[in-house]
């Protein structure tokens, strides 16, 4: 899947460059940056899966998630979206052995999704980090329009955009969430869509404790 993703992204970038700024300079730049970011993410994931790069090491939950939360907050602040972060006290010093770069990539994709769809006067995002017996449990919620029940099965399909996303005219190629789930599974965890408490999208990310 990753090789097809790289090929598709490279073609998209070439076509975008060839078309020029017909849709407006701001839209052009935003779409180009989105495609470039996806290409970097997919390429990095391929390198990790091939064993070219080893980024696994042990951090406490606080050391792993607080810098990620700070980065998310900066991005959301620029988009005028409020942000709250809660890391459960009992697991702050809990060690976790994982690929920190991949975890950050997953959270970057979820943040980009929220920025794209959760805009509004009272837009907000919540990030919580807890633990169960076997996993670190991360919930990423927004109060955007959410995902309709009929489109929930399409969310993680690569190169497939839901009808809601297509109708919104937001730029995208339908890769971000598919890549995020693949990355989570490469870590031994998973990324799922659940029914959230904020009325918008709610994602459940699990990462093994060890």
Higher local confidence (pLDDT), 32 or 206:
206
Between helix 25-50 and helix 176-186 the angle, nearest 10°, is 20
- Residue 7 is predicted with a pLDDT of 54
Most confidently modeled of 13-17, 34-38, 133-137, 159-163? Answer: 133-137
Phi, psi of 60 (to 5 degrees): -80, 160
Asked which of 75-84, 128-137, 174-183 is least confident by mean pLDDT, the reply is 174-183
CA distance linking residue 98 with residue 104, whole number of Å: 11
Assign 165 a pLDDT band (cuts: 50, 70, 90).
very low
Q: What is the dihedral of CA 179, 161, 31, 183, to 10 degrees?
A: -10
Helices (H), the chain: 2-19, 25-50, 61-78, 100-117, 163-167, 176-186
Assign 148 a pLDDT band (cuts: 50, 70, 90).
confident
Contact between 146 and 200 under an 8 Å Cβ cutoff? The reply is yes
- Residue 177 is predicted with a pLDDT of 87
CA distance linking residue 169 with residue 185, whole number of Å: 30
DSSP letter assigned to residue 3: H
């Amino acid at each position: 899947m990753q090789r097809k993703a790289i090929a598709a992204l490279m073609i998209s970038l070439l076509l975008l460059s060839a078309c020029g700024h017909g849709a407006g300079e701001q839209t052009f730049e935003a779409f180009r940056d989105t495609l470039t970011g996806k290409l970097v993410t997919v390429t990095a994931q391929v390198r990790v899966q091939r064993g070219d790069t080893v980024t696994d090491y042990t951090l406490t939950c606080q050391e792993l998630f607080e810098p990620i939360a700070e980065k998310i907050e900066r991005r959301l602040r620029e988009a005028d979206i409020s942000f709250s972060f809660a890391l459960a006290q009992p697991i702050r010093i809990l060690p976790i052995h994982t690929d920190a770069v991949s975890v950050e990539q997953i959270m970057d994709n979820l943040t980009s999704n929220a920025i794209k769809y959760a805009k509004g006067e009272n837009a907000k995002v919540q990030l919580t980090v807890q633990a169960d017996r076997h996993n670190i449990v991360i919930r990423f919620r927004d109060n955007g329009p959410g995902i309709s029940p009929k489109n929930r099965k399409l969310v993680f399909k690569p190169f497939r955009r839901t009808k809601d996303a297509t109708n919104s005219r937001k730029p995208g190629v339908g890769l971000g969430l598919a890549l995020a789930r693949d990355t989570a599974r490469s870590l031994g965890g998973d990324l799922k869509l659940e029914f959230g408490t904020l009325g918008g999208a709610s994602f459940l990310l699990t990462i093994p404790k060890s």
